[in-house]
Amino acid sequence: MASGALSVKDFLDKAKLVSYGFFGLLILFLILFFSSPYLLVSKADPKKSDALVIEAIETGKKDKFKQAAALWKKGLAPAIIILHSPPNQDSDLGIVGDPTASLQTYLVSLGVDETKILVYTVESGPQEFPKTLLKIALDRQWKTFLLIGKEYDSATLLKLYRNVLEPAGIYIAVSKVSEGIGSWDWFTKPKSLESILGRLSKHLYLILLGN
């Protein structure tokens, strides 16, 4: 046998190691794939807070407003904060022009006291919502918030807000709004599959960035 040539045993050993590595990565991918919904759902327990928080950024999504009104009427928080950016074609509830009055009117129609609704316009966009909430918390000396968020955005939202609020000793949790996506069959529906994998990519990207 020529010097340096692999014996059959050495070849089989190396092939076995490669196959173990391949199947190990495949198993890891499958675990990550099927556990995606659980990674995206917040485990923080909602509790009585100083204010409920709504991000008004998604066209036509009124479920968050309905849930906030229901929680306010249950006494989970005395005030509701709405964070929104200057309106455009993607503005929440399809509002054109100044949304402040329309957002307040909609919550009032759901039974919320108008004096308990605080609307803040964030000119620089939704990425600055957590910093705006921190400023509100410091100005008003509030220490606990309950953010109303879509179920499979809740873990990502919690991570984004906690990175800003926790260093100041402020607690935040997410009240999850159901999206009608099953945790067991989400991958069988193209729209659900695309939505969950897109959000998983964003969540993992934030983790890689250390956010």
Sheet holding 80-84, edge to edge: 117-121, 80-84, 51-56, 144-150, 171-177
Return all residues near 112 (Cβ < 8 A) that are at least 6 apart: 68, 69, 72, 73, 80
Handedness of CA 88, 94, 96, 97 (dihedral sign): negative
Residue 145 in any domain: the answer is yes
Residue from 69, 155, 161, 79 nearest 117 by CA: 79
Residue 185 in any domain: the answer is no
Residue 10 in any domain: the answer is no
Burial class (CB in 10 A: 0-12, 13-18, 19+), 64: buried
Residue 193 in any domain: the answer is no
Residue 107 in any domain: the answer is yes
Residue 58 in any domain: the answer is yes
Looking at residue 90, the DSSP 8-state letter turns out to be: T
pLDDT score of 77 more than 50: yes
Q: What 3-state DSSP class applies to 121?
A: strand
Summarize pLDDT for 19-66 with one digit per residue, the tens: 666 666 656 665 666 666 777 888 877 789 999 999 987 655 688 999
Looking at residue 205, the DSSP 8-state letter turns out to be: H
* Number of domains forming the structure of the chain: 1
Residue 134 in any domain: the answer is yes
Q: Work out the pLDDT band at 8, boundaries 50, 70, 90.
A: low
138: CATH: 3.40.50.620
Q: How far is CA 169 from the centre of its chain?
A: 21
Looking at residue 92, the DSSP 8-state letter turns out to be: G
Give this prediction's pTM.
Answer: 0.76
Residue 6 in any domain: the answer is no
Domain residue limits at 142: 51-179
